[in-house]
A and B are shown apart, each in its own frame.
Chain A
Amino acid sequence: MKCHEAKHHLDLFMDGELSVPENLKVLEHLNLCRPCAGVYEGEKALRAALRSRLGADRAPAGLAERLAQEEVPSVRGLRLPTRRLLSAAAAAAFLLVALLFVLTTPGERPQAFAAELSTKHKETRMGFCGQDSDDCLCLHCCSESDNPVGKFFQRHVGRESCSHDLSGLGYKPIGASVWRHRGKPVCWTVHCDNAGHTITHGLVTTKIALEPGPLLVCDGVDRPVVMIPVEGTELTCVFVFDDEGEAQRFRTSKGMK
């Protein structure tokens, strides 16, 4: 083996990724060649130094114990840090905008519709918190304790949106909002769980252009979508999940396949 070959193989050698015969060849060369052995010793020392300085951090004391404890989610004292909540809600709002964009029927002008929704989205995107206003309900801030989301929608659209309860899955609502598109209300709520999963749940009153069980691609990530018609109406409830595992848990809880 020549020096340049040995140097070329050095990283693989040190990472333990060479085959046995190649490994022996490098070893043999390092035994015979002083300059290459020097490079090897230097690299070994550098790795050891990096390991002791950057690779030696330990998890904070008590983290394992905290993970082991079952958490009891509560809406008011939602355990999620605020910044996480905000970004989860912002992400969810973005999802809904994207979703409604997709759902827009061909007869509508998607660009105009999306622009309208983007404006609405910007108004409410700060994750509700501190934005408890007439058309935006922040569950962290509101004082109503008895079915606040239902009352909010009742007040705005004359009905309680839908009765899908996600608390059995560990999700709690963090906010709700409503706006009108072409005179028809768009109701939506965002639910979070303690792990930061988000379910964007919209009651869509425009005609649905998607087949059941599609995936929505947002930010390069596949988002499973589940749609449930509201019995006795033409409305459809649309749920967007973070991943297929969460969507499946939801389907199972609803007795869906």
Chain B
Amino acid sequence: MVEARAEFADRVKPHLDSLYRTALRMTGEGASAEDLVQETFLKAYRGFGQFEPGSNFKAWLFTILTHSYINDYRRRSRAPRVTDFSEVEPEGEIETPHFSAEDVERLADRLGDPAKRALDRLPPEHRLVFLMSTFEDLSYKEISAILGVPIGTVMSRLFRARAVLRRELAEFAQQQGYLQEKDQP
């Protein structure tokens, strides 16, 4: 039994960083992230019989992680102020600011904190999609299966999350004087 568990841990190990950092961005602190990863691991270990050989193991682990988060952690996590999209996006499709590569280069070292704040303020469903797509290289189709929502929903959440992030980073950059107000064409 001990050996089987150790073997299973070896199988999970290549994905541990991915699981942990997603958990960290969702729960907001290290101890909770570790708890969530541990819970994910144990559920996966017990439910390994349900895993279909040949299918995507990483996506399967993320399914367990996100469900555990949604069912459990989310209910009791410190609730940061959630971005109200009706407030950020007045109407229709928004024109989001784009940075030039030079802007980003100037900003890069100071980008971490405002980006974290912007992410924390996104509704969890949007944040999850953003994290899985941007940092974990999961495809829209995989994310759609993980969250049990249509691909169109994945796309709209992702694009909104990115739009909000760009906008907040642009605001930050302007406040800090790193970015000149550009004339919109």
Contacts and interface: CB of A to CB of B under 8 A. Distances in A.
Given A39-B98, A42-B103, A60-B30, A54 B41 contact: no
B35 A46 contact: no
Given A50-B134, A60-B30, A42 B21 contact: no
Contact of A63 (B16, B75, B139): B16
Interface residues of B, number: 57
Chain A: number of interface residues, binned into ranges: 35 or more
Given A11-B159, A59-B20, A245-B46, A195 B98 contact: no
A64 B21 contact: no
A180 to B, nearest CB: 30
B170 to A, nearest CB: 11
Given A57-B20, A67-B12, A221-B71, A195 B39 contact: yes
Contact of A42 (B43, B104, B108): B104
Interface string B143-182: 0000000000000001100100010010000000000000
A82 to B, nearest CB: 12
B37 to A, nearest CB: 7
Contacts of B115: 50, 53-54
B141 to A, nearest CB: 9
Q: Classify the secondary structure of B's interface with A.
A: helix
Given A60-B30, A64-B16, A68-B9, A49 B111 contact: yes
A41 interface: yes
Contacts, number: 119
A59 B108 contact: no
A53 B111 contact: yes
Interface string B66-83: 000001100110000000
Given A58-B21, A59-B19, A60-B34, A219 B135 contact: no
Nearest to B95: A7
Given A53-B115, A64-B12, A64-B13, 9 more contacts: A46-B99, A57-B20, A58-B17, A58-B21, A59-B16, A63-B34, A68-B10, A196-B35, A219-B71
6 contacts: A42-B98, A46-B104, A49-B111, A51-B135, A196-B72, A245-B43
Interface of A: 11, 15-17, 38-39, 41-47, 49-51, 53-60, 63-70, 81, 84, 87, 91, 194-196, 219, 221, 242, 245, 249
